[in-house]
Structure 1
């Protein structure tokens, strides 16, 4: 122990180091819990994992007038690119 360092100073440094270690461990645990992703331990290991299905596609039938208008728009956009 150095002569110019008192016991309260050494205890203060030890307490700060201990508090820092406890804070880092706590922060690591909190960040791991809040991380999105699959569960680490499945609730029932006998069941296979389910795949996420895509949402069903939506479509709306166009009237003949709307189809003609769309075809005209496509022609206009195709001609303006030249």
Structure 2
């Protein structure tokens, strides 16, 4: 043991090295586990708080227009399209 270092300094370095090794091993294991789960593509059951998704959209609705409403709509279309006829 070198004379310029005290026992406490050497013990501190040893503790820091051990903590670094333990942290590195834990990080590697955590990253590998995440990569394995992503590769396998495990998907758990859907969350119970989310509503079921519908497989189709809403029903289409239509309305019959009167001739006056059709003329008014045609006028709006001409106005917005810039047509003067």
Q: What TM-score do the two structures reach when normalised by structure 2?
A: 0.43
